[in-house]
């Protein structure tokens, strides 16, 4: 078996002694998510600093498609619901439920990525690439890293689904599913922030915004 | 849900029905957010900023409390996460403050006060002092006073052209002229005074440069690095007066 979880002391999570009384893997995941807040915080702050400072188009208002992204946001929210159901099915040893809900989560996550690929491609056709302007650079960096997180989550969930199909997921592996779920929900909440700031609020930004600081020397990069 | 699980806190997890209600609440909030920005007068308006941020914060809180069970789990886990979240928020706010994103500065003022970026490593390791020197011809209040310091350039017009290039015109954001500017978005203009004559058959360097400033869309040369059609538009240069363009042309012709 590729996944070594069977050898890990997951069956007696509540009896393993730790100084905090908490399972180390779960604490590790929360600590990682905490640090990931800083990672995305830096990318979001960078986007906000350069908002309205692109000197050439396309600008957000020219290409951002809010209705389309609202649909993909719904899909990602739905996948989080499926994820909590997968964990609940694991806890009650509902083998059919485990596979069904995990598959649903994966399919919806993949749909979200499909929307993102479509969007990136549409932007490229409209003339926005990562090196076109500050909007392109900050937008693709932020949403691209989010997409990478979703993709990693899909790989993780697929591994769990394979385990589930082999009948190797049950109440004893509850923590395995829960930790994957924590990661998945985190990716969802990061998108909640991105959707609000980049689409609902920033999606109507036009060219260089009067009244925002512009420092041309900052735009010149050392070659 | 079931109570057969070894997870002792499982019984405190929400039931299927409760999870469904949470999901519906999240959908409803997203739908409200979308509906808020449907009326055109609210699109990009400042008044919707607070409600939109509040609603997304609410969704954020619902997901971490219920889907990620922070409400039911050990407080240490929540503490660890909130610490990172608060740090990220404070660091992000600090960056926005640092870059003056909350204190609007008129674009022209900032552009006129911009200093030319000198490439580090060309003249020595410590060039900070040099970078802070004001550009000749640009006074801190944004005016373009005639300060001729360029022995090679000579005329007032060239100095004025340079002041526009590095100041109010903002040209330096995209173009490189060795020793003066190092933008990497558009073509290198270090030798444009001589190159200009070869770009378009039968067109002098002066006419070529004038057109390239006034109507950049009209002709884009092939075989010039970073000469991308549509990247520079006449909208970018519309604010330049004919006198400004004349000064810029003189300055660029002097780049040989």
Domain ranges of chain A: 21-51+63-205
CB A185 within 8 A of CB A83: yes
CB A88 within 8 A of CB B23: no
Domain ranges of chain B: 10-98, 107-253
Written as six digits, the tokens of A209 are 């915004």
Chain-chain contact of B81 with A78 (C-beta, under 8 angstroms):
no
Check residue B41 and give its pLDDT.
85
Chain-chain contact of A196 with B170 (C-beta, under 8 angstroms):
no
Chain-chain contact of A93 with B4 (C-beta, under 8 angstroms):
yes
pLDDT per 10-residue tile (average), chain B, 256 residues = 43 78 93 91 83 93 91 89 95 84 48 42 41 44 44 67 83 84 83 86 87 85 78 80 88 88
pLDDT confidence bin for A59, thresholds 50/70/90: confident
Per the model's pLDDT, the better-predicted residue between A17 and B125 turns out to be A17
Angle (CA) A42-A48-A51 rounded to 5° is: 140
CB A24 within 8 A of CB A18: yes
CB A83 within 8 A of CB B23: no
pLDDT confidence bin for A80, thresholds 50/70/90: very high
Per the model's pLDDT, the better-predicted residue between B83 and A18 turns out to be B83
Mutate to test the interface with B, among A38, A65, A86, A192 (most CBs of B within 10 A): A192
Chain-chain contact of A91 with B68 (C-beta, under 8 angstroms):
no
Please report the ipTM that was assigned to this predicted complex.
0.82
Q: 3-state DSSP: chain A helix, strand, coil percent, rounded to 5? A: 75, 0, 25
CB B168 within 8 A of CB B243: no
Neighbours of B4 (CB within 10 A): 10
CA within 13 Å, CB half, B38: 9
Kindly report, residue by residue over A153-166, the tens digit of the pLDDT.
999 999 999 999 99
Check residue A92 and give its pLDDT.
93
**For residues B159 and B145, what is the distance between their CA atoms, to the nearest angstrom?**
10
Helix B192-199 vs helix B205-214: crossing angle, to nearest 10: 90
CB B167 within 8 A of CB A215: no
Nearest by CB: A26 against B30, B77, B91: B77
Written as six digits, the tokens of A146 are 């989010």
Domain A21-51+63-205 has CATH 2.60.120.260: no
Kindly report, residue by residue over A154-203, the tens digit of the pLDDT.
999 999 999 999 999 999 999 999 999 999 999 999 999 999 999 998 88
Written as six digits, the tokens of A166 are 């082999």
Q: Under CATH, to which class is B107-253 assigned?
A: mainly alpha
CB B67 within 8 A of CB A19: no
């Amino acid at each position: 078996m590729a996944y070594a979880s069977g050898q890990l002391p997951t069956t007696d999570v509540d009896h393993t002694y730790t100084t905090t009384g908490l399972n180390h893997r779960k604490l590790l995941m929360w600590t990682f998510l905490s640090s990931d807040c800083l990672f995305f915080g830096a990318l979001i702050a960078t986007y906000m600093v350069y908002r309205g400072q692109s000197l050439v188009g396309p600008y957000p208002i020219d290409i951002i498609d809010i209705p389309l992204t609202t649909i993909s946001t719904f899909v990602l929210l739905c996948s989080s619901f499926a994820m909590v159901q997968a964990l609940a099915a694991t806890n009650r040893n509902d083998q059919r439920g485990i596979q069904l809900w995990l598959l649903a989560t994966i399919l919806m996550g993949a749909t979200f990525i499909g929307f993102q690929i479509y969007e990136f491609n549409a932007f490229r056709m409209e003339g926005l690439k990562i090196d076109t302007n500050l909007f392109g650079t900050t937008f693709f960096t932020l949403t691209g890293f989010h997409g990478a997180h979703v993709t990693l989550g899909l790989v993780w969930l697929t591994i769990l689904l394979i385990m589930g199909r082999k009948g190797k997921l049950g109440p004893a592996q509850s923590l395995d599913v829960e930790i994957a779920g924590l990661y998945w929900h985190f990716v969802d909440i990061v998108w909640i922030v991105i959707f609000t700031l980049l689409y609902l609020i920033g999606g109507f930004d036009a060219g260089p915004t009067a009244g925002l600081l512009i420092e041309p020397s900052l735009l010149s990069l050392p070659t | 849900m079931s109570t057969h699980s070894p997870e002792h806190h499982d019984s405190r997890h929400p039931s299927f029905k409760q999870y469904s209600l949470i999901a519906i609440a999240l959908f409803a909030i997203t739908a409200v957010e979308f509906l808020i920005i449907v009326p055109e007068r609210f699109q990009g308006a400042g008044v919707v900023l607070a409600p939109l941020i509040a609603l997304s914060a609410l969704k954020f809180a619902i997901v971490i409390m219920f889907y990620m069970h922070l409400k039911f789990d050990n407080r240490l886990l929540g503490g660890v996460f909130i610490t990172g979240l608060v740090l990220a928020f404070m660091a992000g706010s600090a960056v926005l403050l640092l870059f003056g994103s909350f204190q609007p500065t008129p674009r022209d003022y900032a552009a006129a006060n911009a200093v030319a970026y000198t490439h580090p490593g060309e003249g020595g390791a410590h060039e900070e002092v040099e970078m802070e020197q004001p550009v000749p011809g640009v006074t801190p209040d944004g005016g373009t006073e005639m300060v001729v310091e360029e022995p090679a350039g000579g005329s007032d017009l060239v100095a004025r052209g340079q002041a526009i290039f590095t100041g109010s015109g903002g040209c330096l954001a995209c173009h490189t002229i060795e020793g003066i500017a190092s933008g990497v978005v558009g073509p290198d203009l270090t030798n444009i005074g001589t190159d200009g004559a070869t770009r378009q058959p039968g067109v002098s360097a002066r006419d070529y440069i004038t057109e390239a400033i006034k109507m950049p869309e009209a002709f884009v040369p092939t075989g010039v690095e970073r000469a991308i059609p549509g990247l520079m538009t006449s909208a970018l240069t519309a604010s330049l007066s004919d006198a400004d363009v004349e000064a810029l042309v003189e300055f660029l012709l002097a780049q040989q």
